[in-house]
Chain A
Amino acid sequence: MELNAVEGKPIYVQIAEWLEEEILRGHIKEHEKIYSQYQLAEMFNINPATAAKGINILADQGILYKKRGLGMFLSPEAKEKIRDKRKNHTLKKLVEEVVFEAQLLGVTEAELISMIRDAGKEFDEHDEHEGIEGG
């Protein structure tokens, strides 16, 4: 697996985001053990300390909980927390950027909304093929 090295985001943030996506897609179940820092290190070819930092971000946010000596497990409210966080932060920021770009280009609100709608349709079709579990 390759991480995006060009992007400004630190690797541990990318690890945290990748784990969040795994959780959102339902690849990890409630109370299930998640990847260890060593597994992540091997998968992404990164230092295990960096991987641990990514895991710890999620633990600090209550998405994961720790069992002493056993590792990190997925908390039952994980999905909800991730969704909340992403909606209020990540998505909000992305929308702000989109609006900023649209204003710069003089794209009208109606135009922008129709663009979003089109993009949504494409994703729906894509999801049907891939069988990704909806949110």
Chain B
Amino acid sequence: MAATVSEISRGLEAGEFSSVEITQEYLERIDKHNPTLNCFISVTGEIALEQAKTADTVRAEGNADRLTGIPLAHKDLFCTDGVRTSCASRILDNFIAPYDATVIEKFRAAGAVMLGKTNMDEFAMGSSNENSYYGHVANPWNISRVPGGSSGGSAAAVAAGLAPGATGTDTGGSIRQPAALCGVTGIKPTYGRVSRYGMIAYGSSLDQGGPFARSAEDCALLLQTMAGFDQRDSTSSEEAVPDFSATLGESIEGLRIGLPKEYFAEGLDGKIAGVIETAIDELRRLGAEICDISLPNTGLSIPTYYVIAMAECSSNLSRFDGVRFGYRCDNPVDLEDLYKRSRGEGFGAEVKRRIMIGTYALSAGYYDAYYLKAQQLRRLIKQDFQQAFSEVDLILGPTTPETAFSIGAKTDDPVSMYLQDIYTISLNLAGLPGMSLPVGFSDGLPVGMQLIGNYFDEARLLNTAFAYQQVSDWHLRVPEAFK
């Protein structure tokens, strides 16, 4: 079973099966494979079947839309009214969200079905999904490997066919990197394209929600529902949302694609470089014009990102205080003890590291040296992209410097983990859209190619990925154990 969102949508439309039947089928697959993969923190079977039943009624009444009755999984960072939203943290292990995130509300309104909430790195901080209070997620292509992070559960669920599509969030690569490592398609939209309301905040000037699916066609469909202005998100964009599906299939003849030399330099695995070269040749055959470009400040993106993300997280996560919701320590002696132990016991090690670095960077005497400096470099990084987009329509490179690494391989060295994000992180700093799509394998593990677009140019990204997927079938490959 490798059904895509689009195939399921057509099957439901043609009456080949009902939403209840297909939902049941996915729930059975989750039941069978989740003990191995640990993709889901919560499976919401009862809600799913109820929503599926409603969707079938809506369809019978002739009011179905394209996502009516489609089962999906949601990263456990989107608040879901009445359903635990843990952010993979002990501090929210008992948190039943009292409202829906805008993204969840939109999928509900579109008639989609929620299969469950997916595993992730705690508070979206991580690149391997090993920082979850609920244990790591296994990569369906090789269960001794990581699925990437932070949206590892969503990526692995789609790769293993436990959901045809899933939501994720991307603060420094958390959609694109796991998509690459699990061999699925994922898109991080322009900052502000998808509402952050009800998305538990990590780095507010970087966070952006987006979909995972098997194909660009499916991502277009899912992003259509997710995107749009939202009054409740103060940085939501009022830019009009085009019909992403309508432009799929347009020719990419003459499309100017730039290859940043910094993305093909030292540090990139040679086999990945080879796979990417082959994919570039395919795009050339489709009429794209390939040229070399430079993003000279690429090397600065990791230190810059970690200062900004950690500063923002130290502020955002101050709300978890053991007073109004979430975990509270036993027998606090006074209020300070309550704060300190609730947070100390509730947060995992990586979250504590990031809060402390952020606190340090924002503290008196260090603000200019760290936070202000990082914001200045952030502008230089953005200007690199603006310069590049005066010459090309799209930027292309590998999504990650290596394929899925072994579980435990990088857990002792936070810095080596951070370096995994070298190609993805600068987009978040610049606020640009990017997507990852599978373009081959290296030693049996998927290789992802990243496409970077100009502001609000998701339609072009999706169409370019779609064009490639019309002449390749990497995106349809399914790991043997999950066929």
Q: Do A and B bind each other?
A: no
A interface, CB within 8 angstroms of B? none
| Interface residues of B, Cβ cutoff 8 Å to A | none
